[in-house]
Structure 1
Amino acid sequence: MIHKAVILGTGPAGLTAAIYLARANMDPIVIEGPEPGGQLTLTTEVENFPGFPDGIMGPELMDNMRKQAERFGATFKRGWITDIDTSDRPFLIKADGLDIKSQSVIISTGASAKLLGIAGEKENIGKGVSTCATCDGFFFRGKKVVIIGGGDSAMEEANFLTKFASEVQVVHRRNDLRASKIMQDRARDNEKITWGLNKTPIEVLSGGKKVTGLKVKENDSDKEEVIETDGIFVAIGHRPNTSFLHGKVQTNETGYIDVKPGTTKTSVQGIFACGDVQDQHYRQAITAAGTGCMAAMDCERYLEGDASIDWSQTL
């Protein structure tokens, strides 16, 4: 069986694409990985997604979007994508226990925030540990927070957090920051930002329901100390989930999929990309959803306009 469209990923981008393609009678197949719903399933309350004046829980928002896609006819299958054969059409998508052929593919596999891998970190995501200052900074109004990292993103997020937090401490394992001079200067000129350099985080401390502190080690002396804090923001970068492509779709030097400006078209005709997998700047649920809409429309126009497709072989 050859499908018209297969969507890889079930974050805001993939589910929005599924809603649009299903409403267009394209009968999309949506392949979800072991953590359906993307990064929003790790978020407690979402207050910046339009249409929810009182906010909505991240998992609930994603569940609603999935139900909406299913209502219009999208079909969901579970599997970890391992490869896509782009040498011929229809494309062959390989996943655990699945071989699916499709005339088009929308890649919305997202990007994963890099974590430190220290004790107490992962289990406290949503309880004071965050990887997105723009998403969660508002919840720390008047509180003390720590941001871990030394690059441009960390400096940018540290400055952003000072709009809400009473104090922002930057913790970095080296004395020297990796951030550009202009970003360092902006952070150092901000009176709300303090510095914990040459310190290695070793454990996130929690009272069970929320973060209470960050245990760090002074690199020169190996002395340990606890930084009391209400929130910990990890800003050491993101990793696009594109390893399964094996170079068959053009990406930039950090692995994000390249798309034609103003579209979601990739280097391979019939394959489209949306959401964080092609966006290393904004990384917001609403922008991901917007590109999901774009991908569905680009995909639909491609399918309707390609005379070479033998529709007798499709659903």
Structure 2
Amino acid sequence: VFSDVDPNPTDANVEAGVKAYREGGHDGVIAFGGGSGLDLGKAVAFMAGQARPLWDFEDVGDWWTRADADAIAPVVAVPTTAGTGSEVGRASVITNSDTHEKKIIFHPRMLPGIVICDPALTVGMPRAITAGTGMDAFAHCLEAYCSPHYHPMSQGIALEGMRLVKEYLPVAYDDGDDLEARGHMMSAAAMGATAFQKGLGAIHALSHPIGAVHHTHHGTTNAVVMQPVLRFNRAAVEDRLARAAAYLGIEGGFDGFYDFVGGLNDRLSIPANLTALGVKNPDMDALVASALRDPSVGGNPVEMTAENTRALLEACF
């Protein structure tokens, strides 16, 4: 058993996990926990047999081909939260302890071979974590749906994932023992991570550096910046989100969808902005630069620049 994982897992966590794996003579990993535990478990299984350093496998170009694929250990993933969908993902998000940047480590064989999704394991989640992880699933679906890349299957999965969150996250938040709601949220989480193969966007480009530097909860950070990003992207996504609103039973097109997101955040006691979330004395220049380096930038429907990204970030405080 290895459980030395930070809420935003780091390279130091990976190093310690690999050491424990090698010293124990293990032949695989059962990753049990929330997104942080799952990401770390996958990274340990990936790195245990590699000779090159972790950052050589960042999700840049074809860097994943540097890995010895035959040395990647098998993973059984058992999620205990309903948000990240890391159990069906081919990557791990790991924070660089030196630069305080989140990096995506990718390889097709990081995809767990077996996944056990048991909603009973999510019953004990506190309400705040239920809300934050649930909004992470919603953010994955929303950004995938709005991404300009071509992937109609992801589009459909994202749309139904948003519907499940809309219907069942408030139920799970109010009654953590409701297994039907917990089960649908677990499905929505897996659907979000499947859908975002199409792309993510500014929500994640902002939340990754904020979480890495200020140690905020990832899903909750996504929820906090969601409405400012919707305003930022409005011109490019207005018609598309009007269609989504119609499917979700929300009146008023884009404006109705925007108001729904704000109402859902209020319903779940999500902080109103990054200041209320606890982000104090931010280095705006560093956050903007880090956001623009994030891989999620490429999937945003509006091109992100130093100028408009800074204005967007300031709007989140």
The reply to whether TM is greater than 0.5 is no
Higher RCO structure, 1 or 2 (CA under 8 Å, sep 6+): 1
Structure whose residues are more often strand by fraction: 1
Report the TM-score range of the alignment, normalised by the length of the smaller protein: under 0.3
Larger Rg: 1
Structure whose residues are more often helix by fraction: 2
- Give the alignment's TM-score, normalised by structure 1: 0.25
- Give the alignment's TM-score, normalised by structure 2: 0.25
